[in-house]
Structure formats: C-alpha cells, structure tokens
Amino acid sequence: MKKAILLVLAAATGLALASDFPKGSPEFKDSSDYAMSAAKKSGKPVIMVFSAAWCGPCQSMKREVYPSEAVKAYHDKFVWAYIDIDDERNEKVATKYGVTSIPHIEFLTPEGKEIDKQIGSNSPEAFAKTLSSVLAKAKK
C-alpha cells in the first residue's frame, strides 16, 4: 500500500512539474538523483537547472528559452533536471554545486563531473551556443 501511495505521489509530482512548463519544453526530471540515473543509463550529459517560482529571470528562461526553436535541437541530447531551490529536499544538491544565485545551470557528465556552468539568464540563441559548446566538451 505504501508503494502504491508513493507511486501516485511521484506521478502527481511529475505531472505537476510537466504542466508547469510551456509546450515544446524539454522533458525535465524533478530530482538530481533521477536525472543522474537517467544520464548514466543513456550516456547523455545533464543540464541541471536550479530555479524558483519567484525568480523572474528563471521564469523568463522557462517561458522563452527552453521551448525555443534554437534550443529544441538539443532537447534529446541531454538529460534535463529542474531543481526547485525552495524545496528543502534540494538543499543538499544546491549546496554541492555552490548555488548562491539563480538561475544557476550546471552542465554535467553522466558521472556527475562539471563540464561547464551558467549563472544568470540568456537569450535562446546564446543558450543554444552554450549547449553546442557543452556537447563538444562532453565528447572530449
């Protein structure tokens, strides 16, 4: 019974997270552990987005950058994770990556090593350029 309740809660959290993003956004995982597990299985690098509902630049990235045509080409080349810094369950991972301001985006290998990071918002075109650079670095 407990497993069933946990599965329902996990599904509801996933649906709530998915519905919070505009159509055309990448599929965001809702935990760093889940994202890292998916990355290890797929061999894809991770984009770990540290954000919050009250953060204007974060919401701008969510609405305008992630679902943009310039960034769509990269949706399936990464495992995407959305980490809400206001959720106390994410405190440890935010501390691990030195998050002191948001948006804070970590680009990681499937093993969890930092490839690059971005602090602050960006235009769709500039973010797509960053993604291209991260992929090139990840292949080295």
Residues 6+ apart with CB under 8 A from 36: 46, 108, 110, 112
| Residue type at 33 in one-letter notation | D
Which two tokens mark 62? 């969510």
Residue 90 known to be catalytic = no
Contact 120, 57 (CB under 8 A): yes
Q: Active-site residue among 36, 46, 47, 55?
A: 55
Residue 58 known to be catalytic = yes
Prior bond of 110 cis (ω within 30°)? no
Q: Active-site residue among 58, 93, 94, 115?
A: 58
Catalytic residues: 55, 58
